[in-house]
Structure 1
Amino acid sequence: MTAEYAVSRRAGAAEPFDPAAAAARATAEILDDTLGGRARGVVVDSPPGAGKSTLVVRAALELAAAGRPLMVVAQTNAQVDDLVLRLAEKEPALPLGRLHSNDSDPYDRALDALDNVRTSARAGDLAGVDVVVSTAAKWAHVQGVEPWGHAIVDEAYQMRSDALLAVAGLFDRALFVGDPGQLDPFSVVGADQWAGLAYDPSASAVSTLLAHNPELPQHRLPVSWRLPASAAPLVSEAFYPYTPFRSGTGPGERRLAFGVPSDSSGPDRVLDEAARSGWGLLELPARLTPRTDPEAVAAVAMVVRRLLDRGGSTVSERSGDPVPLTADRIAVGTAHRDQAAAVRAALAGLGAAGVTVDTANRLQGREYDVTVVLHPLSGRPDATAFHLETGRLCVLASRHRHACVVVCRAGVSGLLDEHPSTEPVQLGVSLKFPDGWEANHAVLAHLAEHRVSWRP
């Protein structure tokens, strides 16, 4: 029985949940298996905002302190640079290597100012460096070097199994850390021809690893430090039913408030609802629209504009005093790049600069105080596999620390009922649960309690 759901034998009442203690216990068990266990791999599931990067940095530092050569595998150059900067900040005297490509601008030039960081496009130049960090794509081209004793694979659920196979010969043991609820690994080609095979190259590295090594130790981080108490229950139940987690904060510990009263418009009313409850649904009239629905895009932009105009401020465990809600702490999430471009243009027309606007793929791993989401199924005539992908909705609904506002046309629940999943059942393929159809219904049912209908 997990600690957070343990029941007192004497009193028969649930024990108070201590998020810091639960997270510390989980981290200690993970590090114990990583440094002292005999298994060749350790798998860690992390919900959104659970301190995954913090765990990676701590494990890297402890392995280095134990005198164990370490390679770190991340999925993008931005993730690699961020990890190197965090490692250097935590341990300025630790020799670090940044293995990069031969591109003209291969890494963050901020690394050049760090005395303990050595950069090179050749793995041989970094021999003897305690910790070497690079992308999976770059590691795949490394040859003729002595294997590292240990590896840490970050964002392991977003790494394809063929990418893991390409680097598996470079290390003896590995710690795999990732979020199983996020977007699946990306592939530019169809993968149906490999479905059900023992080594499906399009499957995630973790799913293939565990399919062939079910005895490997598996852990999970039990606390999200990003999601507020208003959001963690929904995200946990909708997207992580078998690996539940809790918020690191309780009800009322985080607050969003506005200095300018509402003007009673739809955008202002949904912002007031989001400030009160953590969620808001601005529902436009049902209509079939082009993907870059002008009314929905304008509604998203207006919500952001009013967020800035109303002088929003936040209070959280990080600061007891109100902190102004600035543009850099607001993000807009969409399903498609052309939708993101349309929102950027609309915001520019309203003079709202500095707000992050991007697709779910690019927002993955990032954190903001308030997010505004254009629902992937808004105005659509059908519910395709792309728009029903569980990870896409999970990313969009889990980037915020205080509140999330969803803009959507009415009728999505009916659309889902008219388009049940028709994906073929393939032998040997594990079904992903919950599927996008069920997750969308769960999220929409919750948002219905915070709905503000508006006709622009």
Structure 2
Amino acid sequence: MKILDSAVTGYGAPVTLSLETPGSAATRVVDAVLRDLATTEHRGVVVDSPPGAGKSTLVVRAAGVLAATGESLMIVAQTNEQVDDLIARLGVASPTLSVGRLSAVDYAATDRVRSHPSCRVGAKVAELGGPPVTIGTAAKWATVTEGTWPWAIVDEAYQMRSDALLRVAPRFDRALFVGDPGQLDPFSTVEVDRWTGLSWDPMQSAVAVLLRHNPQLPVHRLPVSWRLPASAAPVVAAAFYPFTGFRSGTGPADRSLAFTSSATSDLDAVLDVAAATGWGLHELPARFTVRTDAEAAAACALIAARALSRGAVAVSEAGEAPLTADRIAIGAAHRDQVAAIRAFLPDHAKDITVDTANRLQGREYDLTVVLHPLSGRRDATAFHLESGRLCVLTSRHRHACVVVARAGIAELLDAHPSTEPVHLGVPVKFPDGWEANQSMLAHLSQSRP
């Protein structure tokens, strides 16, 4: 493989740039993953993926390859939304492949599940008729006490707690683990300090514990994001993936976002900057506020609504299409902030998606508006500093992202370095939330109107 140049991230880690086309680079890694599935003697194969690199596409393709061997396969996803999405994708890719959907007793099949021509739904494995592929959430698989499958595919494996993996591990012989290491870690609503430092800490991700106990497992990294545009991939990679990096599957001229009406306000001005550069920062005056900052919530809602009103047109490798409400999202850290933003949406913009980072994870839009987790705060807590939260919020877009924040976040970070205790036996996590936030702020400071 020819080497073109070497770039250096903010952490001093070299990132090798290749002359390979994005498609060739991605194909090379996917082929290596499929080859490992067919030949490896290890019990697991791990695939790390940046945002929008085609995790679901890989899962669907791997499922087809493994099912073609004549052996049954189980797929473990983390949410019902992910399960239904995978079933719909399997229906398109392999419509003749029978799929069993493990579900709760009161589950009502969605349109995506019903669209699969060969999908059967059941609350128990015995009700599914022994299909080549059985798919369900990790929570549902944990209730299965009989039967084994030669292979399992664990989707969004970095969202899965290690104790959840322990509960389903007896059901399979080998597994493919696919996930994004830069996004949100598993979380719990109970105190977990008693397990901190243990190699099997249930609050670590399934992949983290798996690799600590099995460091010899093959690990592949998808090198291309097909979602993030050329304006976003290097920014997100430097902030949240400092040691692995990735690149965009498109070039600077491949995508554009243009408004059919001219700017008439400050909100329009930040949208124009975002459309031209991929990023926009709408900065409010510095002030300490309550969590549901009404001024910031209103700004998020009105920016998104104004983008809808101005008749934007998105052009990409997929063609040309108007910017509709279902292609716009607003993200925030807390549910009460989400409720406040929704309340400010005008009637014509009520269909715009507004949700927390946890629920936006895995989803994709043309334009996103983000309420910065540290906006208006007096302190920088571990929750608000978590790099995965900001990573999710700033990596959902195909064209542009507008960040709404009060001035003073950089000073807040400088005044509140991390005070979290250092525990023996706990691997150091990179990127550090402090550094990731500073990296993003440095770029956003160039994106003011």
Cα deviation digits, residues 401-423 of structure 1 (max 9, x gap)? 00000010000000000100011
**Which residue in the other structure is 2:107 paired with?**
105
Distance 1:114 1:245 in 2: 33
**Which residue in the other structure is 1:267 paired with?**
267
Query: By how many angstroms is 1:113 displaced?
Result: 5.5
Distance 1:128 1:296 in 2: 52
SS of the equivalent of 1:449 reads coil
CA contact (8 A) 2:91 2:115 kept: no
Distance 1:170 1:374 in 2: 42
Cα deviation digits, residues 158-211 of structure 1 (max 9, x gap)? 000000000000000000000001100121112111011121111100000000
Cα deviation digits, residues 213-240 of structure 1 (max 9, x gap)? 0000000100000000000001001000
CA contact (8 A) 1:100 1:107 kept: no
**Which residue in the other structure is 1:295 paired with?**
295
**Which residue in the other structure is 1:281 paired with?**
281
Is 1:142 matched up with 2:140?
A: no
Which of 411, 415, 440 pairs up with 2:412?
A: 415
Query: By how many angstroms is 1:35 displaced?
Result: 1.9
Aligned Cα root-mean-square deviation (Å): 1.6
Q: Are residues 429 and 79 of structure 1, via their aligned partners in 2, closer, same or farther at CA, if it must alter by over 3 Å?
A: same
SS of the equivalent of 2:345 reads helix
Query: By how many angstroms is 1:353 displaced?
Result: 2.1
User: Where in structure 1 are there 5+ consecutive unaligned residues?
Assistant: none
**Which residue in the other structure is 2:345 paired with?**
347
SS of the equivalent of 1:93 reads coil
User: Where in structure 2 are there 5+ consecutive unaligned residues?
Assistant: 7-15
Q: Are residues 92 and 296 of structure 1, via their aligned partners in 2, closer, same or farther at CA, if it must alter by over 3 Å?
A: same
Cα deviation digits, residues 355-383 of structure 1 (max 9, x gap)? 00000000000000000001111111111
**Which residue in the other structure is 1:163 paired with?**
164
Distance 2:141 2:17 in 1: 48
Distance 2:194 2:2 in 1: 43
Query: By how many angstroms is 1:107 displaced?
Result: 3.9
**Which residue in the other structure is 1:328 paired with?**
326
SS of the equivalent of 1:26 reads helix
Cα deviation digits, residues 232-276 of structure 1 (max 9, x gap)? 00100100011110000011211011110111x211111111011
Is 1:389 matched up with 2:391?
A: no
Distance 1:225 1:4 in 2: 22
CA contact (8 A) 1:241 1:434 kept: yes
**Which residue in the other structure is 1:223 paired with?**
224
Q: Are residues 273 and 109 of structure 1, via their aligned partners in 2, closer, same or farther at CA, if it must alter by over 3 Å?
A: closer
**Which residue in the other structure is 1:51 paired with?**
54
Q: Percent of counterpart pairs with the same letter?
A: 63
**Which residue in the other structure is 2:119 paired with?**
117
Which of 12, 21, 26 pairs up with 1:23?
A: 26
SS of the equivalent of 2:231 reads coil
Q: Are residues 230 and 96 of structure 1, via their aligned partners in 2, closer, same or farther at CA, if it must alter by over 3 Å?
A: same
Is 1:42 matched up with 2:40?
A: no
Distance 1:112 1:128 in 2: 19
Distance 1:253 1:152 in 2: 34
Cα deviation digits, residues 292-333 of structure 1 (max 9, x gap)? 1111111112211210121111111111xx321111100000
Distance 1:416 1:256 in 2: 33
Distance 1:382 1:4 in 2: 47
Distance 1:71 1:61 in 2: 12
Is 1:177 matched up with 2:173?
A: no
Distance 1:192 1:430 in 2: 15
Amino acid at match of 2:172: F
Distance 1:26 1:80 in 2: 25
Distance 2:3 2:416 in 1: 37
